[in-house]
Amino acid sequence: MAVKDRMSGNEAVAVAMRQINPDVMGAFPITPSTEIPQYFSKYIADGLVDTEFVAVESEHSAMSTCIGASAAGARAITATSSAGLALMWELLYVASSSRLPITMAVVNRALTGPININNDHSDSMGCRDAGWIQIYAENNQEVYDNYIQAMPIAESCRLPIMICQDGFITSHAVENIELLDDADVKAFVGEYEPENYLLKAENPLAVGPYGVSPYYMEIKKAQAEAMKDAKTRILEVAKEYEKVSGRKYGFFEEYYMDDAEAAVVVIGSSAGTGKAAVDMLRAEGKKVGLIKLRVFRPFPMEELAAALSKVKAVAVMDKSEGFSACGGPIFAETRSALYDLAKRPMAVNYVYGLGGRDVTISTYEEIYDALFKMIETGQVGQVYRHIGVRDLEDR
């Protein structure tokens, strides 16, 4: 039986962890994800879970703990943000190449340079090619739901997974949320029974051996195939979860896309503001739509292209700077997805919200106005754009 409650996104993740009762948590505090291990360590102290909590000296050690535990056949979890995720960089590749289904909660925060503790997606987008499944949430309910779906996805694909939410925006804001019954979560996630693991005495196993040249590329190909196969598994788990929760999930959510002429692709909590802008502009008779991307790795290339195939112009919003001189990471993926369409929409990129810069309905109004101008003139103009940046010459 579902329970209605109010809680922050961080607490929602900790509650999901409690309901799952994993074997090992290795964690080191960093804003704004610190609350997750704080909440969870209290559950351990209160005897509500059987998890072994390993308090380590750094995020590098936190991921090392998870790798060792997962290789030994345990369910391993952690949580981190920003520079903490960056300190794990080397080990993210070890976890994925060793095919260890570690579940990590990432509370997105800007990477330092200059120092900033507010939200953008530069941390998780920076490790987008590390071989981890990446799923993003708009609100606290989705954070909770995504985390419960994470383990069945990761364990069947033998890939690690990160469940991402926006720092402070969802992690600390309190919202209404519907929790599943503890028994239902436990039944949905099930028991973890890996086929092979280090402590299985009857089947000696090496994890993370030296990858000599005759074998290294085959290992990477196997990882790539597993990531492609993850698309099917993500949808299967979502369908199973809908039966339990009544909430439907896919690779992305389409909002007023049926007859949209101008559309925006966005990820994370900013989608909520975007939907409000769409509602307002629709009331004015403007045919606008929005796609909220939920799954970034594996990237739903064909599905997203099909969803955008009927629009005339699309703006792809990146809450991280790619420093590619031609756009951000979501734009690069989306534009590539559109390439094979017989009739492609005009596409532009907007880098926005870096370091916690506000994103408002007016921000979206400006973007949709620019899209309709493109449709009217037939000219794309500058493709790589930034929005919400103060004009320094006017200071």
List pLDDT tens digits, range 343-367: 999 999 999 999 999 999 999 999 9
**Residue 219 shares a structural domain with residue 262:** no
| The length of the chain, given as a count of residues | 395
CA atoms of 192 and 68, how far apart (whole Å): 16
**Residue 241 shares a structural domain with residue 283:** no
Average the pLDDT over 230-258 and give the result. 98
Hey, CA dihedral for 143, 147, 148, 154, is it positive or negative? positive
**Residue 239 shares a structural domain with residue 289:** no
Q: Judge whether 306 lies within some domain.
A: yes
Diameter of the chain by CA atoms?
A: 72
Spatial neighbors of 332 by CB under 8 A, at least 6 apart, are: 322, 324, 326
**Residue 228 shares a structural domain with residue 309:** no
Q: Judge whether 394 lies within some domain.
A: no
**Residue 185 shares a structural domain with residue 45:** yes
Q: State phi, psi for 385 to the nearest 5 degrees.
A: -130, 155
Q: Which of 245, 272, 294 is the last residue of a domain?
A: 245
CA atoms of 190 and 233, how far apart (whole Å): 16
**Percent of the residues in the chain that have a pLDDT greater than 90, as a whole number:** 94
> Which of the 8 DSSP states describes residue 345?
P
Confidence of residue 203 (pLDDT cuts 50, 70, 90): confident
Q: Which domain holds residue 116?
A: 3-245
Is residue 394's pLDDT more than 60?
A: no
CA atoms of 347 and 355, how far apart (whole Å): 25
Whether the CB-CB separation of 26 and 78 falls below 8 Å is answered with yes
Average the pLDDT over 279-285 and give the result. 98
Q: Judge whether 393 lies within some domain.
A: no
**Residue 237 shares a structural domain with residue 319:** no
CATH number of the domain within which 127 lies: 3.40.50.970
Q: Judge whether 392 lies within some domain.
A: no
Give 206 or 246, the one with higher predicted confidence: 246
CA atoms of 284 and 262, how far apart (whole Å): 14
Average the pLDDT over 124-146 and give the result. 98
Q: Judge whether 395 lies within some domain.
A: no
**Residue 119 shares a structural domain with residue 46:** yes
**Residue 234 shares a structural domain with residue 302:** no
Q: Judge whether 137 lies within some domain.
A: yes
Query: CB-side exposure of 167: number of CA atoms within 13 Å?
Result: 30
CATH number of the domain within which 341 lies: 3.40.50.920
**Residue 185 shares a structural domain with residue 283:** no
Strands (E), the chain: 3-8, 24-27, 52-55, 76-80, 103-108, 133-136, 161-166, 174-179, 252-255, 262-267, 288-293, 295-297, 313-318, 346-351, 384-386
pLDDT computed for residue 395 by the predictor: 46
Decide: residue 155, CB within 10 A, 0-12 exposed, 13-18 middle, 19+ buried: buried
Is residue 162's pLDDT more than 70?
A: yes
Decide: residue 106, CB within 10 A, 0-12 exposed, 13-18 middle, 19+ buried: buried
Of 172, 167, 169, 173, the residue nearest 81 (C-alpha)? 167
Of 30-44, 205-219, 250-264, minimum mean pLDDT range: 205-219
pLDDT computed for residue 34 by the predictor: 98
Q: Which of 226, 245, 264 is the last residue of a domain?
A: 245
Is residue 25's pLDDT more than 90?
A: yes
Q: Which of 217, 245, 273 is the last residue of a domain?
A: 245
**Residue 300 shares a structural domain with residue 237:** no
**Residue 205 shares a structural domain with residue 349:** no
Span 111-128, pLDDT tens digits: 999 999 999 999 999 999
**Number of domains forming the structure of the chain:** 2
* CA distances, 58 to each of 71, 167, 215, 370 (Å): 20, 20, 32, 45
**Residue 209 shares a structural domain with residue 302:** no
Confidence of residue 393 (pLDDT cuts 50, 70, 90): low
